[in-house]
């Protein structure tokens, strides 16, 4: 299913074992993989054992330590502040966004104590003047809580992965700073998931750096996340992936559908940040479905379903829900790969609503409508992915399809990765109509490779890096090069 099926030639034992693992291990459950799963299992009865042997035990342990009770406790605490509207009071110790900010800061600081100094926590505070955002009418102080878990591999420590939730909330009116706005789902759920991931992961060492962030001002117009993303761009921070978790709280939709096994991951196809020149190239090569965010979504599906097999990652091929937005958008607009996690079916009675009963219907974003076990499952999908990304090599850079000769083969080249534990690379490919990568081939530690007899006209190709433990990077989609 995932390989060319040719036997590998003699190589040093360690590498051969990796190659063996790569050859026999299926790609993630994909539409094709699912269709062929029965076939594969009938051929090799222990397919399930092979798939689980491919799991990194450290990542599996992280996933198992995510705890729904902690998530529930965080959500109830956040709700207890009455409102977390960005315009609400900041100097009351028990009510308003200031109380929530201070409580989150101290919780992240407690978490950092178990990191042996690798995690630092800061308040990223800034003044937002009126004018830029309709929902901010006078100068307002906003604070993002940013907990940074430094990577331990010198070649990777400046490679960053960001996971975020927004801790601000709103009632029916986004500028009403007084009304109760419990925001138990939107977005105490995402905030609690991020804090729980930080608690579990602070004890572990990763090659690259992970930033656990809770931001303010989402409901005011993505204000906190925009500030962070703009600072990151100005400082040329190498953010390889950003996840926002927003409305991941309920497994029961307003449509009556109960689905605790699905999380939606939204990713854009055409990059928000591309220049006219880049758009011309994309049209010329048919790259509408291969942005860095789309590659990230495919990675999340593959990794999430491997480590949390009871969950289905439902990729949605659009930037966010129809005409709506979230905290990943300031990141994609600045050229970073970023996606949004959201529950499968929303309930609009419990979103952006004053708490009230009307005609026997309870409105408002209350904790009784959260499913804490579901939120923990979504946090597990996130944590597995963050760990997999931060343990794996960077995605290959400057990947190109060489166009100097007209040929029915496909010539690929890329820059060598810098990680000392790099094993080599895989070429992946799929039919042009396939939504996910369906095939892969281990090619060793080379930076140039020709796919013989496979025309770039007829397939999409990509390259990913693999380390000596079998950790794979997301796929890099090539540009045409000379």
Binding site for Zn ion (CB under 5 A): 186-187, 246
CA 390 to chain centre: 12
DSSP letter at 301? H
Nearer to Zn ion, 83 or 410 (CB): 83
Minimum separation from the CB atom of position 326 to Zn ion (A): 7
Q: Which two three-digit tokens encode residue 75? A: 């959500």
Query: Do the bridges between strand 209-215 and strand 159-166 make them parallel or antiparallel, or are there none, so unpaired?
Result: parallel
Minimum separation from the CB atom of position 216 to Zn ion (A): 12
Nearer to Zn ion, 264 or 298 (CB): 264
Cβ 430 vs Cβ 459: under 8 Å: yes
Minimum separation from the CB atom of position 347 to Zn ion (A): 14
Which residues, at least 6 apart from 465, have a Cβ–Cβ distance to it below 8 Å?
A: 392, 393, 394, 395, 396, 417, 419, 422, 424, 425, 472, 473
Minimum separation from the CB atom of position 340 to Zn ion (A): 10
Minimum separation from the CB atom of position 26 to Zn ion (A): 36
Q: What is the DSSP string of 116-180?
A: TT-EEEEEEEEEE-TTS-TT--S-EEEEEEEEEE--S-TTTTTEEEEEEEE-----SSTT-SSS-
Which residues, at least 6 apart from 4, have a Cβ–Cβ distance to it below 8 Å?
A: 439, 441
Which residues, at least 6 apart from 101, have a Cβ–Cβ distance to it below 8 Å?
A: 90, 123, 143, 145, 167, 216
Nearer to Zn ion, 240 or 246 (CB): 246
Minimum separation from the CB atom of position 234 to Zn ion (A): 26
Minimum separation from the CB atom of position 212 to Zn ion (A): 18
Nearer to Zn ion, 246 or 419 (CB): 246
Cβ 391 vs Cβ 385: under 8 Å: no
Nearer to Zn ion, 107 or 186 (CB): 186
CA 439 to chain centre: 23
Nearer to Zn ion, 180 or 246 (CB): 246
Cβ 343 vs Cβ 249: under 8 Å: yes
Minimum separation from the CB atom of position 164 to Zn ion (A): 11
Interatomic CA distance for residues 186 and 219, integer angstroms: 10
Please name which of 482, 122, 463, 438 lies closest in space to residue 281, comparing C-alpha atoms: 482
Nearer to Zn ion, 25 or 245 (CB): 245
CA 2 to chain centre: 24
Minimum separation from the CB atom of position 85 to Zn ion (A): 13
Q: Please, is 419 exposed, middle or buried when counting C-beta atoms within 10 Å of its C-beta (0-12, 13-18, 19+)? A: buried
Angle, helices 68-79/97-112, rounded to nearest 10 degrees? 150
Buried b (16+ CB within 10 A) or exposed e, 316-349: beebbeeeeebbbbbbbbbebbbbbbbbbbbbee
Nearer to Zn ion, 186 or 305 (CB): 186
Is the preceding omega at residue 356 within 30 degrees of 0, hence cis?
A: no
Interatomic CA distance for residues 294 and 470, integer angstroms: 22
Minimum separation from the CB atom of position 341 to Zn ion (A): 11
Nearer to Zn ion, 3 or 83 (CB): 83
Which residues, at least 6 apart from 418, have a Cβ–Cβ distance to it below 8 Å?
A: 155, 394
Minimum separation from the CB atom of position 218 to Zn ion (A): 5
Nearer to Zn ion, 183 or 470 (CB): 183
Which residues, at least 6 apart from 433, have a Cβ–Cβ distance to it below 8 Å?
A: none
Q: Which two three-digit tokens encode residue 120? A: 């630092």
Nearer to Zn ion, 174 or 478 (CB): 174
Nearer to Zn ion, 246 or 320 (CB): 246
Minimum separation from the CB atom of position 263 to Zn ion (A): 15
């Amino acid at each position: 299913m995932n390989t060319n099926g040719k036997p590998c030639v003699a190589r040093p034992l360690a590498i051969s074992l990796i190659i063996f693992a790569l050859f026999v291990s299926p790609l993630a459950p994909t539409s094709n993989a699912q269709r062929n799963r029965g076939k594969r299992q009938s051929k090799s009865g222990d397919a399930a054992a092979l798939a689980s042997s491919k799991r990194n035990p450290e990542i599996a342990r992280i996933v198992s330590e995510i705890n729904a009770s902690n998530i529930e406790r965080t959500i109830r605490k956040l709700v207890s502040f009455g409102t977390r509207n960005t315009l609400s009071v900041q100097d009351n110790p028990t009510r308003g966004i200031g109380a929530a900010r201070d409580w989150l800061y101290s919780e992240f600081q407690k978490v950092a104590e178990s990191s042996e100094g690798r995690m630092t926590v800061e308040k990223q505070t800034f003044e937002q003047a009126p004018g830029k955002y309709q929902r901010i009418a006078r100068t307002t102080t906003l604070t993002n809580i940013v907990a940074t878990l430094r990577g331990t591999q010198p070649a990777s420590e400046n490679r960053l992965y960001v996971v975020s939730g927004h801790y601000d909330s709103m009632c029916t009116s986004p500028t009403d700073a007084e009304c109760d706005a419990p925001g138990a789902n939107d977005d105490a759920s995402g905030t609690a998931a991020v804090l729980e991931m930080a608690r579990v992961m602070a004890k572990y060492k990763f090659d690259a750096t992970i930033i656990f962030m809770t931001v303010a001002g989402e409901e005011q117009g993505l204000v906190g996340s925009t500030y962070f993303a703009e600072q990151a761009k100005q400082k040329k921070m190498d953010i390889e992936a950003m996840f926002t978790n927003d409305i991941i709280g309920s497994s029961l939709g307003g449509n009556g559908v109960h689905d605790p096994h699905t999380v939606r991951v939204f990713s854009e196809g055409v990059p928000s940040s591309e220049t006219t020149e880049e758009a011309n190239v994309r049209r010329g090569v048919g790259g509408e479905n291969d942005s860095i965010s789309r590659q990230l979504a495919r990675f999340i599906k593959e990794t999430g379903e491997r480590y949390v097999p009871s969950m289905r990652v439902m990729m949605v091929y659009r930037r966010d829900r129809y005409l709506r937005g979230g905290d990943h958008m300031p990141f994609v607009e600045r050229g970073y790969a970023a996606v949004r996690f959201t529950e499968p079916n929303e309930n609009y009675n419990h979103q952006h609503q004053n708490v009230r009963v009307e005609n026997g219907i309870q409105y408002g974003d209350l904790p009784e409508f959260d499913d804490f076990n579901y939120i923990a499952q979504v946090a597990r999908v996130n944590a597995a992915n963050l760990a997999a990304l931060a343990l794996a090599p960077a995605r290959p850079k400057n990947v190109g399809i060489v166009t100097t000769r007209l040929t029915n083969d496909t010539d690929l080249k890329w820059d060598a990765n810098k990680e000392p534990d790099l094993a080599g690379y895989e070429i992946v490919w799929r039919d042009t109509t396939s939504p996910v990568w369906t095939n892969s081939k281990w090619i060793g530690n080379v930076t140039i490779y020709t796919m013989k007899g496979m025309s770039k006209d007829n397939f999409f190709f990509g390259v990913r890096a693999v380390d000596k433990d079998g950790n794979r990077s997301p796929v890099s989609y090539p540009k045409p090069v000379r």
